[in-house]
Structure 1
Amino acid sequence: MSLTAKGKYEYWLTPEGLLLLEGWARDGLIDEQIAENMGIVPSTLYRWKNEHEEISEALKKGKEVVDRQVENALLKRALGYSYEEVTKEICENPETGNLEMKITKKVKKEVVPDTTAQIFWLKNRRPDKWRDKRDVEHSGGLNVQNQYESMTEEELMELAKKYEKINSS
């Protein structure tokens, strides 16, 4: 459902429009979903982002918040953490006779560090040390000697026939 007339960018440059765009980005919507919410096609949103810095900045600002939250959650999972699990039950208050929600148990729980999260973090944050594929530069030349270089064509043919005979038996 479109909030404005189709193809009109003016609303999206107002403080309300920019706040809405930032909010959608912060909620984790991708550009295609945001364009749909705006009632436009994605290519129009891409064009507006290029033509109107305010739109581009609002989307960047919203996405930055979500990116930070995900980074923090990944880091927390990679390092492990502890939390308190609280169990509540409905109990009768002996003084008033009313039913009340009462904490019946508190348990401290540990989430162990996640090696998959650690690997992902390190490969992306420290690719120079943790990347699977390494780029290796070789300087200098290669000195390769061809053992068949001095043989004539006839000698090579004879050798090939012997090899064929050995492999076919």
Structure 2
Amino acid sequence: MTKKGEGKSTSKSRGQPTKYKPEYVTQVEKLCLLGATDKDIADFFEVAESTINNWKIEYPEFLESIKKGKLLADANVANSLYKRALGYEAPDIDIRVIDNQIVETPLIKHYPPDPTSAIFWLKNRQPDKWRDKQIQEVSGTVTSQNINLSNDEFRAIAKELLEKV
């Protein structure tokens, strides 16, 4: 006969061992730089999204790597949108064939401001000033009359109105 607690494993862990590996820290940051969502990350590591959430709690370096990657990706997109809204210049190369020779000429290409990008930026940065619909406050009172008509009275009024039309 065994006593309570004998013959049982003394390990406190339950369930399957974790699939987490330390190299996931650098991998997850790169995934986030590419715009990966938590669902995409879970698919990549072949785990459930809830496992990714658990890893964020159990491995602080994993969470920091996700935050860093997403923040950098968002900053890059915001910077590109900002440049596009204001217009920008970028280096380019003009390639032509002159007298059967390929001639490459470096140049600076100008991209004009994009109104759609500017509108998008303003609506998201200052929604109270730039939203499409402005909220108007209306004050005052509205009164309503309840008219109690019998069916016969209602039919008589309806008949009168139809005769006028």
Question: What TM-score, normalized by structure 1, do the two folds share?
Answer: 0.69
In structure 2, how many angstroms separate the alpha carbons of the residues matched to 1:135 and 1:51? Answer: 45
Q: Could you tell me how far 1:53 is from its partner in structure 2?
A: 3.6
Q: Is the 8 A contact 1:9 1:48 kept in 2?
A: no
Q: Which residue of structure 1 lines up, in the alignment, with residue 25 of structure 2? A: 18
In structure 2, how many angstroms separate the alpha carbons of the residues matched to 1:89 and 1:111? Answer: 21
Identical-residue share of aligned pairs (%): 35
- Residue 121 (1) aligns with residue 121 (2): yes
The C-alpha deviation readout for 1:10-50, integer Å capped at 9, x for no partner, is 42xx3x32122112111222222211221212232133334
Closer, same or farther in 2 for the Cα pair 1:131/1:57, shift >3 Å? same
Closer, same or farther in 2 for the Cα pair 1:36/1:152, shift >3 Å? closer
Secondary structure of 2:54 counterpart: helix
**Counterpart residue identity of residue 28, structure 1:** G
Structure 1 gaps, min length 5: 1-5, 91-101
The two structures, once aligned, show a CA RMSD in angstroms of 3.0
- Residue 40 (1) aligns with residue 47 (2): yes
Question: What TM-score, normalized by structure 2, do the two folds share?
Answer: 0.70
Q: Which residue of structure 1 lines up, in the alignment, with residue 70 of structure 2? A: 63
**Counterpart residue identity of residue 111, structure 1:** Y
User: Which structure 1 residue ranges, 4+ long, deviate > 4 Å from structure 2?
Assistant: 151-157
Count, aligned residues: 145
Q: Which residue of structure 2 lines up, in the alignment, with residue 98 of structure 1? A: none
The C-alpha deviation readout for 1:71-107, integer Å capped at 9, x for no partner, is 00000000011223223689xxxxxxxxxxx863233
Q: Which residue of structure 2 lines up, in the alignment, with residue 95 of structure 1? A: none
Q: Which residue of structure 2 lines up, in the alignment, with residue 109 of structure 1? A: 109
- Residue 8 (1) aligns with residue 48 (2): no
Secondary structure of 1:82 counterpart: strand
Structure 2 gaps, min length 5: 1-15
Q: Which residue of structure 1 lines up, in the alignment, with residue 143 of structure 2? A: 144
Q: Which residue of structure 2 lines up, in the alignment, with residue 163 of structure 1? A: 161
**Counterpart residue identity of residue 160, structure 1:** A
